[in-house]
Chains A and B, each alone.
Chain A
């Protein structure tokens, strides 16, 4: 038995929770299921592992929809052991692994390898995404029925946008087997793949950029394709104000579309590139303050359902180079909470919505349910804990974050997976 004493509980499955939460104890039974949530539970303390979590927030386990765990194939950047340790330390009880491994996760064997490795490690759960197309080549569909049987929860070609015709077939075929399709939205012929926003900053720095219209046009097109099929589409890492507008309008029309945004797109703008800082090189690119503000508003009103890390760890020399050569992406599993909590503290995001966007909402995208009462995965967040983001403090092998060397506030106190403590600090 596990007992969490005196935390502020946010639980959509408990009617009295509300947006401000309520102070209560949380009791896991011997099977690891939360069987009771209520104030001052009468529990025989000698028979339970008791954690005093007064001042902390107790929420349904956080779920990351997008992480690059790099195994198999690129273990020098990250492996499942370091990636899952980072996820647990970041408060995530489940993390979706992107299929851009080597070999690509486009078949049962790779999915099974990832799941077996993760099972042997314990702790945070891995929810693999398979590829939409074989080898991420954008040609033939991957064997999605088998991917589903092997344990994939969805399909995506990761950072490669799938064209309209193929996306239609992917949506139809994936829906047949209950898989969600996650799409990186960009128009390849309009600055596709460029990790710098085309604007005044890129013009000043002499960098080729991707205009926001590349994403906006692709999102507009892809929600229409989703509408055609009636199948669910998830739009990954939205970066532009116009895409938020398109999504808001599509949702109002009843299109089955969901979307996520990263903590870094909610925090920084293209000004972070000044000085050619390679840690600001991400795909899609960091855009302007007007975009960032629209993204925040999109999370606040639920247009952007989820916050996902897009965790992209890299080896030091892949960022210690000229900007053109630098690998795109930011390490994000361990900094998501402090970044989101800062947005909450600064009044940019309502607390309950931010917590939902990190847990309940991404679980729902995957057709799962995240809850405290009746659930087994719970995250306890200490919103006040101050710490310094530095190489030695990170479990991920990827130290590529703009936060490196910065003081932050907020972290996971306890990450509980299947009723067991996977991480404690």
Chain B
């Protein structure tokens, strides 16, 4: 298997369909690896992967860390609270410092949109965007695509409703770009305060302010987390009202196709954007997403840090 055309994974928009399918296909292999008794392959032995997290995120960081470790890479976590970042060091200096440690990959999560692009321009090694501001979360979109493909057998031509805080969501953006490139009918829906006026134009999707038309005939219902700080910014009057108007419960899910799946990038606010009944119900694939996350991130790390022309991983499997 060959590596990516780009040494980085910064956003979905810079991937082609072939790149996306390459990640998903590689992830299928690692998905099986993660279900073996010994869940470790020597693929990235001797490689150093640094997790540079400027935003708290236990799940994504852990997912990347497990992915790196299952590939036998040396994974190191740098988080805001334990590094010089909290002392106000510039990203420029942080990059110079990291560079001196000769990492093979840097995985960055940052509150500023575009920060991973900046870091990639400063480092000689590969950079993986683990979420930047409101811009992109490419591995989330890839793991969502992986989950959808497993559940639906294909990505082509599906109807996908993304519900909630579209405005602030890098998950919505990356998913919109990825799913549109497979010809999906992508609908975004939420109160108008949370759906930017130009979103439909910017991402070539359909925007709705009512659940019914957005969910009708949907193959996939993707809920987004509602952040409490949206209340103080006068974007929502209350979580209660949000839940009543845009929360996904059994009645809302009934608007979608009978075999529609429900997704959530986590962490969930049960009773706000998704009811407990739906979250734990038979159509929820939330935990499949978490499992897919590790496999997809293994695939990404492998494609970016692995040797080009390296033989397939099955041959190297340690099991």
Q: Cβ of B92 and Cβ of A203 under 8 Å apart?
A: no
Within the complex, what minimum Cβ distance (angstroms) separates B14 from chain A?
11
Name the CB-closest residue of A to B112: A324
Q: Cβ of B118 and Cβ of A203 under 8 Å apart?
A: no
Contact of B113 among A198, A276, A320, A321 (CB under 8 A): A276
Within the complex, what minimum Cβ distance (angstroms) separates B192 from chain A?
14
Q: Which of A7-15, A180-188, A204-212, A367-375 forms part of the interface with chain B?
A: A204-212
Report the interface size class on chain B.
20 to 34
How far is B204's CA from A203's CA once the two chains are assembled, in angstroms? 12
Count residues of A near B (Cβ-Cβ below 8 Å).
Answer: 19
Q: Cβ of A203 and Cβ of B112 under 8 Å apart?
A: no
Name the CB-closest residue of B to A203: B202
Contact with A along B155-197 (1 / 0, CB 8 A): 0000000000000001001000000000000000000000010
How far is B196's CA from A198's CA once the two chains are assembled, in angstroms? 9
Contact of A207 among B117, B134, B203 (CB under 8 A): B134
Contact of B135 among A198, A200, A206, A320 (CB under 8 A): A206
How far is B113's CA from A52's CA once the two chains are assembled, in angstroms? 53
Q: Cβ of B91 and Cβ of A206 under 8 Å apart?
A: no
How far is B199's CA from A276's CA once the two chains are assembled, in angstroms? 19
Q: Cβ of A321 and Cβ of B90 under 8 Å apart?
A: yes
Q: Cβ of B90 and Cβ of A205 under 8 Å apart?
A: no
Contact with B along A303-324 (1 / 0, CB 8 A): 0000000000000010011111
Q: Cβ of A321 and Cβ of B92 under 8 Å apart?
A: yes
Main DSSP-derived SS at the B contact region: mixed
Contact with A along B196-235 (1 / 0, CB 8 A): 1011011100000000000000000000000000000000
Q: Cβ of B114 and Cβ of A205 under 8 Å apart?
A: yes
Within the complex, what minimum Cβ distance (angstroms) separates B83 from chain A?
16
Q: Cβ of A200 and Cβ of B198 under 8 Å apart?
A: yes
Contact with A along B87-99 (1 / 0, CB 8 A): 0001110000000
Contact with B along A403-415 (1 / 0, CB 8 A): 0000000000000
Kindly state whether residue B136 has any CB partner on chain A within 8 Å: yes
Within the complex, what minimum Cβ distance (angstroms) separates A118 from chain B?
33
Contact with A along B126-145 (1 / 0, CB 8 A): 00000011111000000000
Q: Cβ of A322 and Cβ of B135 under 8 Å apart?
A: no
Within the complex, what minimum Cβ distance (angstroms) separates A226 from chain B?
31
A-B contact pairs, 20 of them (CB 8 A): A203-B202, A204-B202, A204-B203, A206-B136, A207-B114, A207-B133, A208-B134, A276-B117, A317-B90, A320-B92, A321-B118, A322-B91, A322-B115, A323-B112, A323-B113, A323-B118, A324-B111, A324-B113, A325-B90, A325-B112
